[in-house]
Chains A and B, each alone.
Chain A
Amino acid sequence: MQRPAPRSAPGPLRDIAVVAFAQTDHRRTSDELSEVEMLMPVLHQVLAQTGLKTSDIGFTCSGSTDYLAGRAFSFTMALDGVGAWPPISESHVEMDGAWALYEAWTKLLTGDADTALVYAYGKSSPGSIRDVLTRQLDPYYVAPLWPDSVALAALQAQALIDAGDTDEPALAAVATRSRTAATDNSHAQLRGSVPRGEYAVRPLRTGDCPPIGDGAAAVILAAGERARELCERPAWIRGIDHRIEAHGLGVRDLTDSPSTRLAAERAGLFERPVDTAELHAPFSSQEVVLRKALRLGDGVDVNPSGGALAANPVMAAGLIRIGEAADRIRRGHSDRALAHATSGPCLQQNLVAVLEGDPR
């Protein structure tokens, strides 16, 4: 396979940091609330953390998907929550909010804006998420077979077991560790002791799968001195990159994630060790793949928030990884942290961000 020669990440044109983060409590259903009603509190929280008003924000970008709501252009309704009149500079990605954050980061790099509001939300409760996610698959050869998200993750899990990379008890241990860590996370949906459960699609048990739930998250980015004004210890984005692999599952080696490794390389991850990693691994088996691709040693605190096994609001869970990593830095619990987001079946697309606090 042809691969570009490794190189260290170029220094960014401007220093850009996460200066605020908020998330909802993630719950199995929130049907008393419309999307905008669910989203608005977190928007207000990030604004309150920085003292900014909506009119102060230079750029707004969001991530969500119509397939969760079953309605076209559903994101336009959520815009009411940011006060889009008079007209604002705004964009949307039909992706996890981590990719919206990437777009906002790019916008800030250009110097067109000094602050950006990034938000993401997903209500999985109205539909059947396992079926809904089949609609993102190759429409010619795969989607007509309706292989659901758990089935595809299970194929990957079996490939890992066959390769000797893990076994069912080790997968259960990943799930237990995640949900134990989530006891300290009041927003998480599954916390503490959760049974391994029956097979969902063998070899994955219900305990290896993420909870299905509704939730939202928001982040504020700021550039340079603006970040220092807005936040005592900004979480500087030292590098961020995202990569994709072939969409054909049978073309890929499902036990590895070269796209994650390449994104990490370009984000500068391998230049110095990190102390924290927030990985977007909705299935226990995917953490095994990511740890290997990212070369994470035992000294790294992986998913202190509980990760996606504790709360997986689709379209927001990746942005939450960035927010959680940034919060660890802002609170002084971390100096250099990695955040990862994924999208698509079996870790098809991957985004890696490296965040740092100022030296202490």
Chain B
Amino acid sequence: MPEVLKAPLVVEFPFTRSLGPVQSAFLTGLRERVVFGVRTGDGRVLVPPVEYDPVTSEELSELVEVAATGTVTTWAWNHEPRRGQPLDRPFAWVLVRLDGADTALLHALDAPGGPDSVHTGMRVRVRWAAERSGGITDLACFEPHDDGISELTGSDGRFEDLVTGIVVPARLDYTYSPGRAQTAYIQALAERRVVGERCPSCRKVYVPPRGACPTCGVATSERVEVGPRGTVTTYCIVNIKAKNLDIEVPYVYAHIALDGADLALHGRIGGIPYDQVRMGLRVEPVWADGGGHPDHYRPTGEPDADYETYKELV
């Protein structure tokens, strides 16, 4: 069996999120170097603040400023920082209960003294990022601090120019492999051949093959070459030009049943005026340079296929 194909797959997405009033005040506060918590019905102060009480689900809105100093409630030494984490040298993950708060905030602790300098109960303070825009990373990290409780700024949380949303970029890296069946399909395309797989149970030929018969739920493995000619089973006329696509509109996009296949695949029809494409039209692939799927299909000049021969595939 030829080796399965593999390729890097990068998934990158900027998540744009709107903030509720409490989150908005908290993140605006970080931009202005003030930390806010929110007071619950039973008088506790939650930092970071949330908009609903995690115990009673009561809506919360009373902002309370807390100090920029606090106590480590638990920690873990991260000797190999990973992409995106707050510091690029070894650091401690910490949960810190800021002075005036009843709950702890997760962040990084810059501890140049190494893991032996960190312990639960140690005192720390906020180190602010030099440039702040209203996000949890405006708090660059914590650092050790032995000089008591920092003074409050006295802010009431009413800022001009509130941060009302955040954009959180994310990137994940994968090595994608399509598996055995689709590898064979893609490799055949490179040789300008189309292969499907036959179901051992219902005998239908699926193209592109995915390794299983969706009707019988059994593995397919008998490879079958199909086409290259086929029949248009149905089609539509595209009148809207897609971005970055240099195909003139209108053009025809069709379902094409390749000879010997029991499932139609998609393709563009060329070489014939768009308003002359019809069900039953016999077509053949026109291959693009450099492998991959056919660029489009064009009429073969044969008589149209009889409806009875493809009606099951419409």
Contact = CB atoms under 8 A, between A and B. Distances in A.
A54 interface: yes
Interface in A64-92: 67, 69-70, 77, 79-86
Interface string A125-165: 11110111011000111111111100110111111001000
A132 B180 contact: no
Which among A31, A43, A203 has the greatest number of chain B C-beta atoms within 10 A? A31
A123 to B, nearest CB: 9
B141 to A, nearest CB: 10
A73 to B, nearest CB: 14
Contact of B15 (A77, A139, A247, A254): A139
Interface stretch (B144-152, B168-176, B275-283, B293-301): B168-176
Contacts of B54: 246-248, 251
A143 B172 CA distance: 13
B19 A140 contact: yes
Contacts of A110: none
B104 A43 contact: no
B168 A139 contact: yes
Which among A35, A37, A84, A125 has the greatest number of chain B C-beta atoms within 10 A? A37
Contacts of A148: 82
Contacts of B75: 155, 158
B217 A202 contact: no
A142 B170 contact: no
The size bracket of the interface on A is 35 or more
Given A32-B4, A36-B211, A145-B136, A162 B93 contact: no
A70 B9 contact: yes
A141 B93 contact: no
B48 A162 contact: no
B34 to A, nearest CB: 16
Nearest to B166: A140
A303 to B, nearest CB: 24
A34 interface: yes
Given A34-B181, A40-B219, A80-B213, A128 B172 contact: yes
A146 B83 CA distance: 8
Given A127-B174, A162-B74, A246-B54, A147 B106 contact: yes
B43 to A, nearest CB: 14
Interface residues of B, number: 67
A1 interface: yes
B56 interface: yes
Which among B84, B135, B166 has the greatest number of chain A C-beta atoms within 10 A? B84
A140 B212 contact: no
B187 interface: no
Contacts of A2: 55-56
A34 B1 CA distance: 15
A131 B172 contact: yes
Given A31-B6, A135-B170, A144-B137, A85 B214 contact: yes
B74 A155 contact: yes
A244 to B, nearest CB: 10
A200 to B, nearest CB: 9
B219 A37 contact: yes
Contacts of B106: 141-142, 145, 147, 155, 249-250
Interface in B87-129: 93, 95, 97, 103-108, 115, 120
Given A81-B212, A83-B216, A131 B77 contact: no
Interface string B173-200: 1111111111000000000000000000
Contacts of B172: 67, 70, 127-128, 131-132, 135
B175 A126 contact: yes
A151 B179 contact: no
A36 B210 CA distance: 8
A201 interface: yes
Contacts of A125: 175
Given A158-B120, A250-B103, A32 B50 contact: no
Contacts of B120: 158-159, 162
B6 A37 contact: no
B200 to A, nearest CB: 12
A1 B57 CA distance: 12
22 contacts: A33-B180, A40-B218, A67-B172, A126-B174, A127-B172, A127-B173, A127-B174, A128-B173, A130-B82, A144-B84, A144-B137, A145-B137, A151-B76, A155-B75, A155-B76, A155-B95, A158-B75, A199-B79, A201-B77, A201-B79, A202-B77, A202-B115
Interface of A: 1-2, 31-37, 40, 43-44, 54, 67, 69-70, 77, 79-86, 125-128, 130-132, 134-135, 139-148, 151-152, 154-159, 162, 199, 201-204, 246-251, 254
Q: Which 8 A-B pairs have the closest CB atoms?
A: A34-B179, A83-B217, A250-B104, A154-B76, A246-B54, A146-B84, A202-B77, A80-B212
